[in-house]
Structure 1
């Protein structure tokens, strides 16, 4: 053992590595297993049993890398692998059907799979299969001294989002992965399909997607703006369906849907998604888009609400996310407002018109 070998690790023969299911390793991991850089390169000679797939990353078999191996190779190149009890281990890959998977997960830091590869891992049917991707996008801190190479495309960020762990792979959340994917796409149809699936498939709400696209400065691209307009319309339609479901499933009295309110012979008071005239209770979906001036738009909401409540009308604002995540709770809020109507002074008379 020389001074470069960790004291807690004894060198092990190469056959030990070849027999394991741990098929992707970095040079540092090989060194921790007693394999020198020269020995690793010798194994990667023409016709040899190993191959170097990325700088400092080795595949311990001669055949093509699987999609899982490519992902772990990218993370070994771009990220850092935390030490576990003083010993660096190899990267586990998916076992064959019926085989036990005993290798521990590798705790990567400072790297997340993003873009189309991340969307494929999130289960997007509109994302290409992993093996068909020429590049795997990886988020890394802006300060990392690395370069894109081979099938690794680095995307630098000031701060990394909290990763989603999918099969031992740290993956960017859907909104961030979408923004990174859209940044690389010029096909308007592909952008529209990805954004639509994000909302229709329940992966996230439109507001979170638009926020990421805004931060990435992608809303200057006409094909992205068109896709976002469709996304927001899709998101509102889904939220409206959930609102209908809330009323039916939780036994609320039927409101009048999608109406405008006016004072008799007076000004327009605003549109509402649902209104119970007998109780003077209104529901409005809060579908503000982050690309708009949120402060100004919220001021408009607040002015409208204040005006209606001065007239004795209770306004309940519900976000699409709350309808998705806590339908029963939102139904209880509306039911409470309806039940409290008898304790309030009668509301002013207003004209209800279809919107």
Structure 2
């Protein structure tokens, strides 16, 4: 006697069950999995109906204006859709917790990302006409509605902001700057990135260079302001390090040269009695040519041949641990007594 072991199909769940979901945002594939076919979806989305289509294949299960959060997740659901195969509807990644979709290969960037990172110079999410989302270059989806797709060869590792995968600040800035022609707006965003401690200037310049944006005059002007802002902040932190950790007072921002000889270069702090110099590493490698970088290396080697210890400090290290950097400088000062006397150099204001 044969027994049919094929399970009976599940009965469709009532539509009111769907409207009880926390997010009330679903794709056509998710609706189909709940037994809601295309005709039923179309009926619910009729003029004056209880649902609405926000983007192709993405539906909001309530009337009225979508919230900023719903628009963000709608864009991610649209960008995360799997391609159609053999007549099957688009699929989306499974939800790892109720109401929190795990998006595949989609990362929010641009002004929306900067708003999520807390930039005051970025407009609020509610005022954005488009939400930029990064997707692999191989995806065939197109920008539509308020979803603007940016194809990329390599997705950045996202950070989570309010449950949304967001591009790191340097990448979000580059994608934003690519869309902006307002020099003032570009300058404000880049300056805030450094002033508020979101990232280092070099990281921003690197992303702008990779996006081939440094040929634009208004971007170059903004980068100059960015680097000046970064140096000013790093200098303030260097002053605080000396003051708060009771280091001897150095000579600040001086040029060194041999008596009657060549210019040796400028340093940010110099302790002549110990022959120790500190130089802030605030350069932007993608803006520096090989000659400039080679000049820095030759300068350091020349000073060290003269018996002067050069301590290079990155602004990020100052920001993260003044105490640790103070210990490095203090060690160099204490070790000066064990070294041969340094050559005499002339110290001039820079």
Q: TM-score, normalised by structure 2?
A: 0.92
Cα distance, 1:22 vs structure 2: 2.2
Tell me which residue corresponds to 2:34: 33
Is the alpha carbon distance of 1:8 and 1:230 closer, same or farther for their aligned partners in structure 2, counting shifts above 3 Å? farther
Q: Distance in 1 between matches of 2:8 and 2:72?
A: 30
Tell me which residue corresponds to 1:340: 335
Secondary structure of the 2:214 match is coil
Q: Distance in 2 between matches of 1:10 and 1:242?
A: 66
**1:82 aligned to 2:93?**
yes
Tell me which residue corresponds to 1:51: 52
Tell me which residue corresponds to 2:142: 147
Q: Distance in 1 between matches of 2:10 and 2:313?
A: 58
Is the alpha carbon distance of 1:9 and 1:196 closer, same or farther for their aligned partners in structure 2, counting shifts above 3 Å? farther
CA RMSD of aligned residues (A): 1.7
Q: 2:104 aligns with which of 101, 109, 115?
A: 109
Q: Distance in 2 between matches of 1:200 and 1:208?
A: 14
Deviations 1:245-280 (A, max 9, x none): 111111111100000011111111110000001100
Tell me which residue corresponds to 2:63: 62
Contact 2:23–2:70 under 8 Å retained in 1: no
**1:280 aligned to 2:275?**
yes
Tell me which residue corresponds to 1:163: 158
The 5 Å alignment of 1:258-273 reads 258-273=253-268
Q: 1:177 aligns with which of 166, 169, 172?
A: 172
The 5 Å alignment of 1:12-31 reads 12-31=13-32
Q: Distance in 1 between matches of 2:9 and 2:216?
A: 55
Tell me which residue corresponds to 1:126: 121
Cα distance, 1:299 vs structure 2: 2.1
Cα distance, 1:84 vs structure 2: 4.8
Q: Distance in 1 between matches of 2:241 and 2:306?
A: 26
Cα distance, 1:298 vs structure 2: 3.1
Deviations 1:54-83 (A, max 9, x none): 000000001001100000000000124422
Tell me which residue corresponds to 1:97: none
Is the alpha carbon distance of 1:11 and 1:290 closer, same or farther for their aligned partners in structure 2, counting shifts above 3 Å? farther
Cα distance, 1:335 vs structure 2: 0.8
Secondary structure of the 2:24 match is strand
Query: Could you list the runs of 5+ residues in structure 2 that have no partner in the other structure?
Result: 1-6, 82-91
Cα distance, 1:10 vs structure 2: 6.4
Tell me which residue corresponds to 1:204: 199
Deviations 1:32-61 (A, max 9, x none): 222222211111011110000100000000
Cα distance, 1:7 vs structure 2: 9.2
Contact 1:9–1:32 under 8 Å retained in 2: no
Q: Distance in 2 between matches of 1:71 and 1:297?
A: 44
Q: Distance in 1 between matches of 2:256 and 2:9?
A: 76
Of the structure 1 ranges 314-323 and 325-334, higher mean CA displacement relative to structure 2 is found in: 325-334
Contact 2:23–2:99 under 8 Å retained in 1: no
Is the alpha carbon distance of 1:268 and 1:8 closer, same or farther for their aligned partners in structure 2, counting shifts above 3 Å? farther
Q: Distance in 2 between matches of 1:253 and 1:341?
A: 14
Q: Distance in 1 between matches of 2:263 and 2:65?
A: 67
Contact 1:288–1:297 under 8 Å retained in 2: no
**1:244 aligned to 2:239?**
yes
Q: Distance in 2 between matches of 1:352 and 1:244?
A: 19
Deviations 1:197-231 (A, max 9, x none): 11111101111001111111111111111111011
Q: How many residues align?
A: 334
Tell me which residue corresponds to 2:85: none
